[in-house]
Amino acid sequence: MKRFAVLVLVGIAAGNGASAEDDIYTRFFTGADGGKPCYARYYDEPHLKAHPKQTVRRIEVDFDGSKPQDSGTPQSAAGFEGGIGFMLKRSKEWYGQALYCKTAGERFDCYLDADGGRITLIPQSDALRLEVTGGGGGTDRIAVEGGRDFGTFGGPGSDDRVFILPRSPRKLCDAP
């Protein structure tokens, strides 16, 4: 009888079919806000004055599960495409880039298109912790081409290596 009970429990666990990677991907991307979540952080002037080594004024990560990846491949936990955008203290220009991610255990490993750098997104409650993990273009920071110049952040010694991005209204990520 014990053997039967163990087999039933093993069968239930095996029949679930949903991996932890699918669950985390669903919770933070495809199942969040209708599959179009926005994670954003906007810093006010008092915060920026208190953190003079921080160069990022606004930063956001967004996703739209209704759109396939640029390659035409459907979005999945094994590979999905979103976007990253940021504004620096020195200008009002937005720097944006495609963000290619995959679920890796309890986090998302991502890289920016055009050799823009690498980040890790770590779920924390209803937010994502963004950590700069590698640089782009042969540097150790995030680098994205804007309309007039390159926007960079996240170099050693800066206050731009970790951000907590709470889930935010979609209009923040859709704004120009």
SS3 assignment, position 151? strand
Compute the distance between CA of residue 167 and CA of residue 163 in angstroms, rounded to an integer: 13
The per-residue pLDDT string of the chain (176 residues; one tens digit each, 9 = 90 and over) reads 444 333 333 333 334 445 666 799 999 999 999 999 999 999 999 999 999 999 999 999 999 999 989 888 999 999 999 999 999 999 999 999 999 999 999 999 999 988 899 999 999 999 999 999 998 767 789 999 998 999 999 988 889 999 999 999 999 999 76
Predicted local distance difference test score (pLDDT) of residue 22 = 74
Predicted local distance difference test score (pLDDT) of residue 163 = 98
Predicted local distance difference test score (pLDDT) of residue 114 = 85
Write down the pTM of the prediction: 0.86
Q: Which residues contact 41 (CB under 8 A, 6 or more apart)?
A: 58, 59, 60, 163, 164, 165, 166
What is the assigned CATH class of domain 19-174?
mainly beta
Contact between residue 147 and residue 93 where contact means Cβ atoms under 8 Å apart: yes
Beta strands in 37-126 (DSSP E): 38-42, 56-63, 80-88, 94-104, 107-112, 117-124
Compute the distance between CA of residue 136 and CA of residue 142 in angstroms, rounded to an integer: 6
Domain ranges of the chain: 19-174
